[in-house]
């Protein structure tokens, strides 16, 4: 059974940092892509970042590029999202998700339809 559990969310002032974790079980990262998505009140879910477990290649949305960093620890089956220089508009529920076919590796894009397994989400709130 595939299971993803996010943690690390919380309350932070603008300009601060948080590190989110996505712990996976029931599969190994070997050929997967792991993505981070977020959904803010009144907005659609958007892709934030992604990493391929094949070669550690990464993707970032324009809104977070230069501020967020995604990384993985295959031995721990865990993916991290380090969020620096946080802004109020980053406030959202953040979800990690797994794509068993690693579409990102082949396409270079982050598409939520490619991801089959999702975590429960962790709340990130950035105050002004």
Residue owning tokens 């977070």: 64
Are the C-beta atoms of residues 20 and 6 closer than 8 Å to each other? yes
DSSP strand pairing (10-13 vs 122-127): parallel
**DSSP for 18-55, written as a single string:** EEEEEEEESS-STT-EEEEEEE-TTS--EEEEEEETTT
Taking the alpha carbons at both ends of the chain, their separation in whole angstroms is 40
pLDDT at 17 exceeding the cut of 80 = yes
Quote the pLDDT of residue 86: 98
Mean pLDDT of 88-97: 98
Reported as a single tens digit per residue, the pLDDT across 27-85 is: 777 788 999 999 999 999 999 999 998 889 999 999 999 999 999 998 888 999 999 99
Using CA atoms, how far residue 87 sits from 10, 93, 128, in Å, is 14, 14, 8
Residue 2 has pLDDT above 90, yes or no: no
pLDDT of residue 57: 93
Quickly state the pLDDT bin for 1 (edges 50, 70, 90): confident
């Amino acid at each position: 059974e595939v299971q993803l559990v996010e943690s690390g969310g919380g309350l932070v002032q603008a300009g601060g940092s948080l590190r989110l974790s996505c712990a996976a079980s029931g599969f190994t990262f070997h050929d997967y892509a792991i993505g981070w998505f977020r959904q803010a009140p009144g907005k659609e879910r958007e892709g934030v970042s992604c990493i391929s477990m094949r070669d550690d290649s990464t993707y970032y949305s324009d809104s977070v590029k230069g501020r967020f960093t995604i990384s993985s620890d295959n031995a721990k089956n865990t993916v991290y999202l380090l969020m620096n220089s946080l802004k109020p508009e980053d406030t959202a529920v953040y979800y990690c998700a797994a794509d068993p076919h690693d579409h990102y590796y082949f396409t270079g894009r982050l598409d939520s339809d490619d991801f089959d397994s999702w975590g429960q989400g962790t709340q990130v709130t950035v105050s002004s």
